[in-house]
């Protein structure tokens, strides 16, 4: 915020009877000072129940105070009236007094020292048990203070959800904006000086928004962006703890909600990722490849000499770093453990893919973000957000054909808990045909050879698109398991895993469908297909599209539409209040 945009916080001391609106601070301070000088030490009435129209007829003012446009009369210590000194008010006051009305009842406004309700110990806000740092993405330079407004919108929607669904909890979640961009100098005005004047408005908008992505991919300015966000996060956390000393003592938790590019920078801060180390790994890989191929004696001798020189250079660098701490190799550190990391409209998956992250064989979040750093990673996106990408297929490849979890509408009655929602496939309809004896194995779809199918609406389960036909085809038994799994499982070069005992289709050779290089995919009693390897926790969560929503229009607006969503507010609070809700339910059961 600039100085002109700062919102002042004023103390209310004197209030107008009836409306209970506070007087302007300047007049209120003058009345308070005069009141203390004249009546300090005098006893007020015992009862706090103030009468709205207590008559003062026949009582003379015992004290008066002249203000710029008004004057105040005290008829007693707690009978104070404000009068306007405008000409029309004076005339009206004179006429009404000649008609027999008192000055106070005709044109006076009664004032009260203090608010209509007496404060109690229960009036204090609930204890903050969880703080959420809200991190912005690109475009903050173009619209300074936007993250503060966006966080205010998210806070307001969260308050509505708290009152509706979590009012029984004695704890509170506080959202704090993190504005890290405006304090950075970066290139100064160099980019502005080389920007042509034609369509200047559009160019300035791009310089203030998309340029942040180029800054972050620049080895010269990347560290400045990372350090700027890291220092601001630590500063805000230290400031909050200094003002709330019981937060750490009582085990307060911290989550981060990041938007757009802010997700990537936050991720790099938490993991300490640095492109310098990636470059060193690539050099090491090249050296290993060189060692494996045949080379001449002279080439081998030069490589050995180069290796010794690099080792010597590395030793010198380590000794130098020991004398002077290096800011480049030292990974950024946060002063708190991150409980939940919520990504909104995030391109993080693209950055990770370009850094060489590939799917593995384990369904653990540790493949991309260790649980020791962050307890839970959750990726929220709108289906038409052009900036957002999925994270789950970077952990297990076949999840590219499993739909993201649909986020519940905030007014859904008795929604199914997210951990109980089973995976549903995006496009299983075209993959249920059997293979005849005459067809070659090469015609069977595989994760690497099958064409990209037209994806159906997310959340459309296999039950909804023809459970009967698929289960009927399953009775044929020949080749179906392999064909189904070939789209959702790993390639034939991987070692088949043993199915868990007790699952349908997993016991006995006679129950196993003939496969083409891949194990069968078991059916569940509900009609959903259950992959052999599943994620420990779902990561991708998708907002539901509106029934009359234009996809082309929402592609333009969806990237900035997360802040005021009641669905997202309920989703965030569901995970942050999860342990508190479980503890409350357990205590209620114990009481019963």
User: What pLDDT is stored for residue 159 in this prediction?
Assistant: 93
The verdict on 366 and 235 lying in the same domain is yes
Q: For tokens 């009655």, name the residue.
A: 413
pLDDT per position as a tens digit, 119-147: 777 777 778 999 999 999 987 766 667 89
**What is the side-by-side order of every strand in the sheet holding 63-66?**
14-16, 109-113, 79-84, 70-76, 63-66
pLDDT per position as a tens digit, 465-519: 333 333 333 333 333 333 333 333 333 333 334 334 344 443 444 433 333 333 3
Long-range contacts of 366-375 (CB under 8 A, 24+ apart): 367/394, 367/395, 368/394, 368/395, 369/267, 369/270, 369/271, 369/341, 370/271, 373/270, 373/271, 373/338, 374/270, 374/337, 374/338, 374/339, 374/340, 374/341, 375/337, 375/338, 375/339, 375/340
The verdict on 84 and 213 lying in the same domain is no
Higher-confidence residue of 26 and 556: namely 26
Does the pLDDT at position 574 exceed 70?
A: yes
350 in any annotated domain: yes
The verdict on 73 and 148 lying in the same domain is no
The verdict on 208 and 79 lying in the same domain is no
Domain limit, last residue, from 83, 113, 143: 113
User: What pLDDT is stored for residue 468 in this prediction?
Assistant: 35
62 in any annotated domain: yes
Element (H, E) at 153: helix 146-165
pTM: 0.64
The verdict on 83 and 151 lying in the same domain is no
The verdict on 189 and 137 lying in the same domain is yes
Could you tell me the two tokens for 583? 């503890």
DSSP string over 503-538: STT-SSGGGSPP-SSS----B-TTS-B--SS--SS-
260 an active-site residue? yes
What distance in Å separates the CA atoms of residue 420 and residue 577, rounded to the nearest whole number? 17
231 in any annotated domain: yes
Burial category of 41 from C-beta neighbours within 10 Å (exposed 0-12, middle 13-18, buried 19 and up): exposed
222 in any annotated domain: yes
Determine what percent of the chain is predicted with pLDDT higher than 70: 66
* Cβ 340 vs Cβ 374: under 8 Å: yes
* Cβ 430 vs Cβ 567: under 8 Å: no
Could you tell me the two tokens for 202? 């559009």
The verdict on 366 and 262 lying in the same domain is yes
Counting the structural domains of the chain, the total is 2
266 in any annotated domain: yes
Confidence of residue 416 (pLDDT cuts 50, 70, 90): very high
* Cβ 212 vs Cβ 103: under 8 Å: no
Per DSSP, which regions of 315-421 are E strands? 338-344, 374-381, 405-406
The verdict on 372 and 232 lying in the same domain is yes
pLDDT per position as a tens digit, 42-74: 665 544 444 444 445 556 788 889 888 888 888
User: What pLDDT is stored for residue 377 in this prediction?
Assistant: 97
Higher-confidence residue of 349 and 469: namely 349
445 in any annotated domain: no
Does the pLDDT at position 202 exceed 90?
A: no
Higher-confidence residue of 423 and 519: namely 423
Mean pLDDT is lowest, of 60-69, 226-235, 429-438, for 429-438
Residue 74 is given by DSSP the state E
Range(s) of the domain holding residue 372? 130-272+334-397+554-591
Could you tell me the two tokens for 111? 């004032």
CATH number at residue 242: 3.40.50
The verdict on 106 and 150 lying in the same domain is no
pLDDT per position as a tens digit, 241-274: 999 999 999 999 999 999 999 999 999 999 988 8
Tell me the C-alpha to C-alpha distance, in Å, between residue 419 and each of 135, 386, 389, 422: 27, 27, 22, 8
The widest CA-to-CA distance across the chain, in whole angstroms, is 122
What distance in Å separates the CA atoms of residue 479 and residue 444, rounded to the nearest whole number? 10
CA angle 434, 392, 340 (to 5 degrees): 150
419 in any annotated domain: no
The verdict on 216 and 71 lying in the same domain is no
pLDDT per position as a tens digit, 492-505: 333 334 334 344 44
Would you report the helix, strand and coil content of the chain in percent, each value rounded to 5? 40, 10, 45
Sign of CA dihedral 255, 258, 262, 263: positive
What distance in Å separates the CA atoms of residue 478 and residue 512, rounded to the nearest whole number? 9
What distance in Å separates the CA atoms of residue 418 and residue 422, rounded to the nearest whole number? 9
User: What pLDDT is stored for residue 211 in this prediction?
Assistant: 80
Could you tell me the two tokens for 543? 């907002």
121 in any annotated domain: no
Best CA proximity match to 426, nearest among 387, 407, 399, 448: 399
The verdict on 81 and 145 lying in the same domain is no
User: What pLDDT is stored for residue 12 in this prediction?
Assistant: 82
* Cβ 261 vs Cβ 304: under 8 Å: no
What distance in Å separates the CA atoms of residue 197 and residue 199, rounded to the nearest whole number? 6
* Cβ 181 vs Cβ 260: under 8 Å: no
Q: Which residues contact 225 (CB under 8 A, 6 or more apart)?
A: 180, 184, 212, 215, 216, 265
Average pLDDT of the residues of the chain: 75
Catalytic choice (208, 260, 346, 565): 260
Q: For tokens 């907002």, name the residue.
A: 543
Confidence of residue 285 (pLDDT cuts 50, 70, 90): low
- DSSP lists the bridge partners of residue 172 as 128
The verdict on 139 and 239 lying in the same domain is yes
* Cβ 482 vs Cβ 516: under 8 Å: yes
């Amino acid at each position: 915020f600039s100085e002109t945009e700062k919102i002042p916080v004023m103390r209310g001391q004197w209030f107008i009877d009836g409306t209970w609106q506070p007087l302007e601070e300047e007049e209120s301070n003058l009345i308070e000072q005069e009141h203390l000088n004249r009546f300090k030490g005098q006893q007020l009435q015992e009862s706090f129940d103030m009468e709205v129209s207590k008559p003062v007829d026949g009582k003379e003012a015992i004290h008066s105070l002249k203000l710029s446009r008004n004057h105040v009369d005290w008829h007693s210590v707690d009978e104070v009236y404000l009068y306007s000194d405008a000409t029309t008010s004076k005339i009206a006051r004179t006429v009404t007094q000649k008609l027999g009305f008192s000055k106070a009842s005709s044109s006076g406004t009664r004032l009260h020292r203090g608010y209509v309700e007496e404060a109690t110990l229960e009036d204090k806000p609930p204890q903050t048990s969880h703080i959420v740092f809200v991190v912005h993405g690109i475009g903050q330079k173009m619209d300074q203070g936007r993250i503060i407004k966006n966080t205010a919108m998210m806070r307001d929607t969260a308050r509505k959800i708290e009152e509706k669904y979590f009012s029984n909890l004695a704890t509170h979640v506080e959202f704090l904006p993190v504005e890290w961009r405006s304090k950075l100098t970066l290139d100064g005005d160099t980019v502005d000086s080389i920007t042509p004047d034609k369509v200047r408005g559009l160019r300035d908008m791009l310089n203030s928004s998309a340029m942040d992505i180029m800054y972050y991919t620049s080895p010269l300015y990347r560290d400045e962006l990372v350090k700027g966000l890291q220092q601001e996060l630590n500063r805000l956390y230290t400031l909050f703890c200094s003002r709330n000393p019981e937060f750490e003592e009582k085990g307060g938790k911290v989550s981060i909600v990041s938007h757009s590019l802010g997700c990537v920078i936050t991720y790099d801060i938490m993991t300490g990722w640095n492109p310098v180390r990636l470059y060193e790994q690539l050099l090491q890989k090249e050296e290993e490849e060189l060692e494996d191929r045949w080379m001449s004696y002279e080439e081998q001798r030069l490589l050995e000499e180069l290796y010794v020189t690099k080792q010597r250079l590395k030793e010198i660098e380590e000794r130098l770093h020991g004398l002077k701490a290096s800011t480049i190799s030292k990974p950024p550190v946060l002063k708190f453990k991150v409980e939940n990391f919520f990504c909104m409209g995030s391109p993080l998956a693209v950055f990770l893919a370009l850094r060489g992250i590939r799917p593995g064989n384990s369904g653990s979040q540790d493949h991309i973000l260790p649980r020791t750093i962050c307890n839970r990673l959750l990726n929220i996106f709108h289906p038409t957000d052009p900036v957002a990408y999925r994270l789950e297929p970077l952990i297990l490849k076949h999840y590219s054909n499993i739909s993201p979890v649909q986020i519940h509408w905030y007014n859904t009655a008795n929604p199914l808990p997210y951990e109980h929602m089973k995976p549903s496939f995006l496009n299983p309809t075209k993959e249920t045909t059997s293979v005849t004896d005459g067809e070659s194995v090469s015609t069977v779809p595989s994760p690497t050879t099958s064409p990209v199918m037209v994806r159906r609406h997310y959340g459309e389960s296999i039950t909804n698109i023809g459970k009967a036909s698929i289960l009927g085809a399953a009775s044929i038994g020949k080749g179906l398991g392999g064909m189904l799994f070939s789209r959702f499982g790993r390639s034939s070069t991987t070692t088949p895993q043993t199915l868990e005992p007790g699952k349908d289709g997993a016991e006995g050779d006679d129950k196993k469908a003939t496969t083409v290089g891949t194990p069968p995919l078991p059916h569940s009693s509900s009609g959903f297909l259950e992959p052999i390897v599943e994620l420990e926790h779902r990561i991708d969560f998708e907002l539901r599209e509106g029934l009359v929503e234009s996809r082309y229009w929402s592609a333009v607006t969806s990237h900035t539409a997360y802040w005021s969503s009641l669905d997202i507010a309920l989703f965030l609070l569901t995970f942050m209040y999860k342990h508190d809700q479980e503890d409350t339910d357990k205590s209620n059961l114990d009481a019963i």
